[in-house]
Amino acid sequence: MIKISNLSKSFTLHNQGAAVIPVMTGAHLSVAPGECLGLVGASGSGKSTLMRLIWGNYVAATGSILVGGVDVARAAPREIIALRRGTLGYVSQFLRVVPRVPTVDVVAEPLLTLGVAQSEARARAEHLLAQLNIPERLWSLSPTTFSGGEQQRVNIARGFVHPYPAMLLDEPTASLDAVNREVVLTLIEAAKARGAAIIGIFHDEAARARLCDRVVDVTQFSPAVPA
């Protein structure tokens, strides 16, 4: 479902003397449907960079990133948009929404863009919000005012509202209490069970052990730092 070959990435800082900073080289991995791959490595080793390369908001220098048959490293913007719409889900650590939009609509939006009827989209959003223990009185409010844990759960609801065949999860259980952590782990297991290919970053070792079929240490993809 997801197959990365010979991927490298560098940043060129034009405004700082055009310094070229290589951050990743020769990365390769693949994830099959129903499989969960955990990315490990120290902070700054490139886990998030790899996620962003797959999501398409970082430009690859070389290599290919095949997701559901689309090479994100080469695809036209509209192909990536379509990929994100129906195939590739992403739960980031941060919730980025238009202020003022009610939580339930934030969660339902991915379905609306896929053309699901408003009533059904809202119903599925409400179901997930309830499952994630977001009190019903908050559904009509904007999540921008919520606590970190609540925002994280809204973000997860948004990421799970559509059954994406491929998913990227960046610390999905961070800042959650035990009850909600369990709910999220169950959601991820259910996604695996229906055949989703998942790449995740889990600092929560117990979660990683429970969910991940394999782990990849991204440190091996770090370019050799010249001395």
Partner 1 sequence: MDLSIYVKVKVQEPLLSVQGLSKFYGKRIGCDAVSFDLFPGEVLGIVGESGSGKSTLLSCLAGHLAPDSGKVIFDTAQGPRDTVVMGEAERRRLGRTDWAFVHQNPRDGLRMGVSAGGNVGERLMAVGARHYGDIRGQALDWLGRVEIAADRIDDRPTGFSGGMQQRLQIARNLVTGPRLVFMDEPTGGLDVSVQARLLDLLRGLVRQMGLSAIIVTHDLAVVRLLADRLMVMKGGHVVEQGLTDQVLDDPQHAYTQLLVASVLHV
Contact with partner 1 (CB under 8 A) among 32, 114, 117, 190: 114
Distance of closest approach, residue 175 Cβ to partner 1, in angstroms: 21
* Binding of partner 1 by 82 (CB under 8 A): yes
CA-to-CA distance for 155 and 172, rounded, in angstroms? 9
Answer whether 21's CB lies under 8 Å from 199's CB. no
Considering beta carbons, is residue 194 or 210 the nearer one to partner 1?
194
Residue among 66, 112, 116, 215 that touches partner 1 (CB under 8 A): 112
The least distance separating partner 1 from the CB of residue 133, rounded to whole angstroms, comes to: 26
Residue 15 as a binder of partner 1 (CB under 8 A): the answer is yes
Nearer to partner 1, 41 or 56 (CB): 56
Contact (CB, 8 A) for 51 and 168: yes
What tokens appear for 177 in the block?
Answer: 């209490």
DSSP string, 121-181: HHHHHHHHHHHTT--GGGTTS-GGGS-HHHHHHHHHHHHHSS--SEEEEESTTTT--HHHH
Out of 40, 66, 101, 215, name the contact with partner 1 by CB under 8 A.
101
> Among the candidate windows 38-46, 79-87, 123-131, 209-217, which touches partner 1 by CB under 8 A?
79-87
Are the beta carbons of 21 and 226 closer than 8 angstroms? no
DSSP letters, 72-88, are: TTT--HHHHHHHHHHTE
Q: Which of 17, 99, 135, 226 binds partner 1 (CB under 8 A)?
A: 99
Indicate the residue among 118 and 206 with the shorter CB distance to partner 1.
Answer: 118
Q: SS3 for 208?
A: helix
Q: In the window 37-76, what residues touch partner 1 (CB under 8 A)?
A: 52, 56-59, 68
To partner 1, the closest distance from the beta carbon of 72 in angstroms equals: 10
**Which residues lie below 8 Å from residue 75, measured CB to CB, with a gap of 6+?**
56, 83
Site for partner 1 in 152-211 (CB under 8 A): 162-165, 194-195
∠ CA 142-199-105, nearest 5°, is 20
Residues that bind partner 1 (CB under 8 A): 11-15, 18, 33, 52, 56-59, 68, 77-83, 85-87, 96, 98-101, 112-114, 162-165, 194-195
